[in-house]
Chains A and B, each alone.
Chain A
Amino acid sequence: MNAKIESFSGNLIEFRDVSYHINDIPGRAVISGVSLAVPLGETLVLLGRSGSGKTTLLRLINALYLPSQGEVLVEGRPTAEWDVIRLRRGIGYVIQEAGLFPHFTVAENVGLVPSLEKWDRQRTTARVGELLRLVGLDPAEFADRHPRELSGGQRQRVGVARALAADPAILLMDEPFGALDPVTRTELQKEFKALAGRLQKTIVFVTHDLREALLLASRIVLLDTGRIAAVAPPQEFLRMDHPEVRAFVASLGAVPGAPV
């Protein structure tokens, strides 16, 4: 899949007038009329309040959900037509609660997709070591631990390493730094920004923190009750006068000493 994606020139991900209803009940739209294109190499940040539909939008990309209306294209092909197993193995996914496998060690967690893809042991071990170092965890110390022996922040780092394991072209990240103290969070955001620059991935990153969005995004998409309220690069975003945008910008000002 990688080779195919690299040669793919259009939009890697595209939403075409997508709606999603829980259990296909029309009255309960969680996503309504979303159209959006994500070109190769972009870091798109989905911003929105709790319950605005951010996680749902991510799940529509890796076919955990299929659209009730419209279509989601990955690599130009609707998710409904993909072999979902192939599709998902090519998409790294960091979920909101880390979701590490409690019965696997850190190394086994990170090496899961490589093992599913039948890499040989040596290659997997080398890759796991490389990734753990990349997210700032010493393999000698952490590789053989179980998730219960990690702090929340370390778990999230492992979650990021696991998503990167098979070098997917697309990375979906659902509040990957949610459970962290502000200091570690800022550090990880900066590390991640540097990493994203180096890795050349197409990233869709979910947050409800405007500051995080401003730091990481090439474009910000603001979701409001399942609809797109605004799409703009960070600096432009700050100047928009949509009320939901203003609400988010005002929340920045509410933090003492926050740079706006």
Chain B
Amino acid sequence: MNASPSYWSFFAEHRAEILGATADHMMLVVIAMLIAMAIALPLGMLIVERPALRALSMGIANIFQTIPSLALFGLLIPIPFIGGIGRRTAIVALVLYALLPILRNTYVGLSGIDPAVLEAAEAMGMTSAQILFRVRFPLALSVILAGIRTATVITIGVATIAAEIGAGGLGTFVFRGVALVSDSLILAGAMPAALLALLSDCLLGLLERRLRVA
């Protein structure tokens, strides 16, 4: 693909549309990420002490992750309430994809803490809740954030495909571009999406390094 001057002029002419689609795209990602975190963070805390629930929930999250995104959208459409054409179905699919990285890292972070530290906490008479929120959680924070970062990047990418089921966002340009064999249209969707992914990766990576302990 050659990013010829025609591409730049195309970009300039359709600036408003592209910015609008970028905003829609970010909205999709933010909503999906918030829901995924609301599910995966507490679940990750819960499975630290419960091996059976851990195997089950990680197994399920893993299955969603292995289904190709187009297939997952397709599978969701006929399901009542969560399915159909549009944003809601797209968000459900994005949440399902984001679950595993957050869940896995929350569990790994919380369970990978120096046993001597946990023993000290217990021996000093901290309650289980105090150990979780004052010791485990702060020590696991950078690992958990790494999971959130991975999930965010995945979600930004998968969200482009969500345009296929009418969810809007930057994917709209990509699919239209593919249909019309127009490089400019494809790039108008792909470039901002790639930039979004890079930017969130960098920012979250920065935050993660700042929160790392020892």
Does A222 interact with chain B (Cβ within 8 Å)?
no
Q: Are B127 and A95 in contact (CB under 8 A)?
A: no
- Residue B124 interfacial (CB < 8 Å): yes
Asked if A99 and B214 make an inter-chain contact with CB atoms under 8 angstroms apart, the answer reads no
Quick check: A103 and B139 within 8 Å, CB to CB?
yes
A199 within 8 A of B: no
How many A-B pairs have beta carbons closer than 8 Å: the answer is: 62
Q: Which of A87, A93, A102 contacts B213 (CB 8 A)?
A: A102
Flag whether A64 is at the interface (Cβ < 8 A).
yes
Chain B contacts for A98, CB-based, 8 A: 116
Residue of B nearest to A163 (CB): B124
Chain B's nearest CB lies how many Å from the CB of A91?
8
* A-B contact list, 19 entries, CB within 8 Å: A64-B122, A64-B123, A85-B126, A86-B125, A88-B122, A89-B124, A89-B125, A93-B123, A96-B116, A99-B116, A99-B117, A100-B120, A102-B114, A116-B124, A116-B126, A116-B130, A146-B213, A147-B214, A162-B124
Majority secondary structure, B binding face: helix
**B125, A102: Cβ atoms closer than 8 Å:** no
Within 8 A of B (CB), among A107-134: 112-113, 116
A85 touches B139 (CB 8 A): no
* Also in contact, A95 and B123, with CB within 8 A (given A102-B214, A147-B214): yes
- Residue interface mask A239-255, B partner, CB < 8 A = 1: 00000000000000000
A113 surroundings in chain B (CB, below 8 A): 124-125
B-chain residues with CB within 8 Å of residue A99 when the two chains form the complex: 114, 116-117, 119-120
Chain A residues near B (Cβ < 8 Å): 62, 64, 84-89, 91, 93, 95-103, 112-113, 116, 146-148, 162
Q: Mark B12-40, 1 if CB is under 8 A from A, else 0.
A: 00000000000000000000000000000
Identify which of B117, B123, B125, B127 contacts A101 (C-beta below 8 A).
B117
Q: Cβ of B132: which chain A residues have Cβ within 8 Å of it? A: none
Determine the chain B residues whose CB is within 8 A of the CB of A146 once the complex forms.
213-214
Tell me if B138 counts as interface (CB < 8 A to partner A): yes
CB-CB < 8 A to B123: which residues of A?
62, 64, 88, 91, 93, 95
A97 to B114, CA, bound (A): 10
- Say yes or no: A88-B125 contact (C-beta < 8 A), given A103-B138, A103-B213: yes
Known A102-B214, A103-B213; further 6 A-B contacts with Cβ < 8 A: A85-B125, A88-B125, A93-B123, A101-B135, A113-B125, A146-B214
Q: Does B154 contact A (CB under 8 A)?
A: no
Complex Cα spacing A86 to B127, Å:
10
**Closest Cβ–Cβ distance, residue B122 to chain A (whole Å):** 6
Q: How far is the CB of B128 from chain A (nearest CB, A)?
A: 10
Q: Which residues of B contact A64 (CB under 8 A)?
A: 119, 122-123
Q: Does B121 contact A (CB under 8 A)?
A: yes
Kindly provide the distance from the CB of B39 to the nearest chain A CB, expressed in whole angstroms.
26
> Are A93 and B116 CB-contacts (below 8 A) given A102-B214, A103-B138?
no
Tell me if A102 and B117 are in contact (CB < 8 A). Answer: yes
Find the B residue at minimum CB distance from A149: B214
B179 to chain A, nearest CB (A): 53
